């Protein structure tokens, strides 16, 4: 099974790997020809991609050098930290990540150690758990274009155990390329946090064909669940949440996952991020959202620009860019539709008010004087500028009649 060099020349193996890279032959046939397993195949593929010209399956056999006591100590130290993470029931990690330890030794201690060495030490010192069997997903969404489907979701976990509070990770992922287009940690999951994600993706990449979400109340009104009493005249999807109103203004379709299993593709990047983000936050003793967000940015960069995706066998950014060059994109240019004048009129919270006889409208304790006739309907488009202040844009009969700024704390009737 091993000893490939006794049955094949380097050029023969190289030719097969080259044909796989060009998608001329499937992996399973190459494995059968070479009589190797999946892990061995990807190890050869990794060596080939590093330098195709110098690729060889021949190497000199030397007695492997023993690792130093310092390296041994650091491996056991990192494995002990891993064990503590796994035993903490509040942390959603149930297995060791030896690849992470390998990266950790290289970056933190400047020590180069092979993965097999770390695994051997783990087994020797009792830091080894068998991986659980993967559950199959009952539905997969297949796409052919970038921008055809944007998977959008939030995950609530103890990302930084030292902070002793759970945060939400909001993420948007392009289904075809697996490129993560948006990722942010927030203390509270709000409608505005999800609208801000829409704004970031659309202004940077354009309007996608469709968003794919679950049936959370932020994304979908469900009769009997989202009302205090049963309204027989208001059925599921007849009331439109704020987040969905933004997409309607943009003419972007929304589709809903019928089960958690249906969102399997989204769960895999989350699992990868959980592994890397939590483990780094533990070792760096992160207690605040800001440094955790910095670590998240680093891990997203690694995932998007360096990591070969297990399904596509391509780096997400490279796959995304290749699709754009080949004109396989359903992204459309974002344009502000009349009568609106700014992106703030689109990516915002909305509410309607009727002008009273004194030409006032109110939001609970706040009252605003408006230049509109009594009994006219005014549409308020509320755009939070920061955590303290929001800009309110007043629209009446297709005209912008006023712009005012207020403190967010005074907008008691507005659910950010």
What per-residue confidence (pLDDT) applies to 193?
96
Here the CATH number for the domain that contains residue 155 is 3.30.420.10
**Between 115-124 and 98-108, two packed helices, what is the crossing angle to 10 degrees?**
110
**Structural domain includes residue 62:** no
**Structural domain includes residue 415:** no
**Structural domain includes residue 330:** no
Do residue 268 and residue 370 come from a single domain? no
Positions in the chain whose pLDDT score sits under 70:
1-2, 59-65, 131-141, 223-238, 259-270, 413, 415-416
Do residue 292 and residue 224 come from a single domain? yes
Which structural domain, as residue segments, surrounds residue 230?
Answer: 150-325
What per-residue confidence (pLDDT) applies to 416?
63
Do residue 297 and residue 185 come from a single domain? yes
**Structural domain includes residue 19:** yes
**The total number of structural domains that make up the chain:** 4
Do residue 191 and residue 285 come from a single domain? yes
Do residue 184 and residue 300 come from a single domain? yes
Do residue 167 and residue 293 come from a single domain? yes
Digit-coded pLDDT (tens) for 272-323: 777 899 999 999 999 999 999 999 999 999 999 998 888 888 999 999 999 9
**Structural domain includes residue 347:** yes
Do residue 158 and residue 279 come from a single domain? yes
Give 388: exposed, middle or buried? Use CB within 10 Å, 0-12, 13-18, 19+.
Answer: exposed
**Structural domain includes residue 261:** yes
What distance in Å separates the CA atoms of residue 290 and residue 386, rounded to the nearest whole number? 16
What distance in Å separates the CA atoms of residue 46 and residue 19, rounded to the nearest whole number? 15
**Structural domain includes residue 316:** yes
What per-residue confidence (pLDDT) applies to 230?
46
**Structural domain includes residue 365:** yes
What distance in Å separates the CA atoms of residue 369 and residue 404, rounded to the nearest whole number? 10
Do residue 307 and residue 258 come from a single domain? yes
Do residue 267 and residue 300 come from a single domain? yes
Do residue 272 and residue 374 come from a single domain? no
Do residue 316 and residue 389 come from a single domain? no
Do residue 116 and residue 182 come from a single domain? no
Is 14:44 a contact under the CB 8 Å cutoff?
no
3-state per-residue secondary structure call for the chain: CCCHHHCCCHHHHHHHHHHHHCCCCCHHHHHHHHCCCHHHHHHHHHHHHHCCCCCCCCCCCCCCCCCCHHHHHHHHHHHHHHHHHHHCCCCCCCCCCHHHHHHHHHHHCCCCCCHHHHHHHHHHCCCCCCCCCCCCCCCCCCCCCECCCEEEEEEEECCCHHHCCCEEEEEEEECCCCCEEEEEEECCCCHHHHHHHHHHHHHHHCECCEEEECCCCCCCCCCCCCCCCCCCCCCCCCCCCHHHHHHHHCCCEEEECCCHHHHHHHHHHHHHHHHHHHHHHHHCCCCCHHHHHHHHHHHHHHHHHCCCCCCCCCCHHHHHHHHHHCCCECCECCCCCCCCCCHHHCCCEEEEEECCCCCEEEECCEEEECCCCCCCEEEEEEEECCCCEEEEEEEECCEEEEEEEEEHHHCCCCCC
């Amino acid at each position: 099974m091993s000893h490939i060099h006794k049955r094949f020349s380097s050029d023969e193996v190289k030719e097969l790997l080259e044909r796989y890279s060009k998608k001329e032959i499937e992996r399973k046939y190459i494995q059968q020809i070479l009589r190797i397993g999946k892990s061995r195949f990807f190890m050869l593929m990794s060596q080939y991609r590093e330098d195709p010209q110098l690729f060889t399956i021949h190497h000199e056999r030397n007695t492997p050098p023993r690792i130093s006591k310092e390296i041994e100590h650091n491996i056991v130290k990192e494995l002990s930290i891993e064990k503590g993470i796994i035993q903490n029931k509040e942390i959603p990690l149930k297995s060791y990540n030896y690849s992470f330890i390998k990266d950790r030794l290289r970056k933190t201690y400047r020590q180069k150690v092979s993965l097999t060495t770390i695994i051997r030490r783990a087994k020797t010192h009792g830091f080894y758990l068998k991986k659980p069997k993967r559950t199959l997903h009952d539905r997969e969404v297949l796409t052919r274009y970038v921008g055809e489907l944007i998977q959008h979701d939030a995950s609530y976990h103890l990302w930084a155990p030292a902070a002793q509070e759970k945060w939400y990770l909001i993420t948007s992922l392009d289904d075809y390329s697996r490129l993560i287009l948006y990722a942010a940690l927030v203390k509270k999951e709000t409608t505005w946090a999800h609208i801000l994600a829409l704004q970031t993706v659309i202004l940077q990449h354009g309007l996608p064909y469709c968003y794919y979400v679950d049936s959370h109340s932020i994304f979908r009104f469900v009769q009997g669940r989202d009302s205090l009493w049963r309204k027989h005249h208001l059925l599921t999807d007849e009331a439109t949440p704020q987040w969905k109103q933004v997409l309607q203004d943009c003419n972007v379709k929304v589709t809903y996952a019928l089960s958690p299993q249906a969102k399997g593709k989204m769960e895999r990047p989350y699992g990868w991020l959980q592994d890397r983000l939590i483990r780094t936050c533990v070792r760096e003793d992160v207690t605040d959202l800001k440094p955790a967000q910095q670590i998240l940015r680093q891990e997203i960069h690694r995932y998007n620009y360096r990591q070969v995706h297990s399904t596509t066998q391509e780096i997400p950014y490279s796959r995304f860019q290749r699709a754009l060059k080949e004109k396989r994109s359903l992204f459309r240019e974002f344009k502000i539709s009349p009568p609106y004048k700014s992106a703030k009129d689109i990516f915002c919270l909305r509410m309607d008010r009727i002008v009273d006889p004194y030409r006032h409208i109110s939001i609970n304790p706040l009252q605003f004087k408006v230049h509109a006739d009594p009994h006219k309907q005014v549409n308020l488009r509320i755009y939070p500028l920061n955590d303290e202040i929001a800009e309110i844009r007043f629209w009446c009969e297709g005209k912008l009649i006023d712009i005012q700024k207020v403190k967010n704390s005074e907008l008691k009737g507005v659910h950010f």
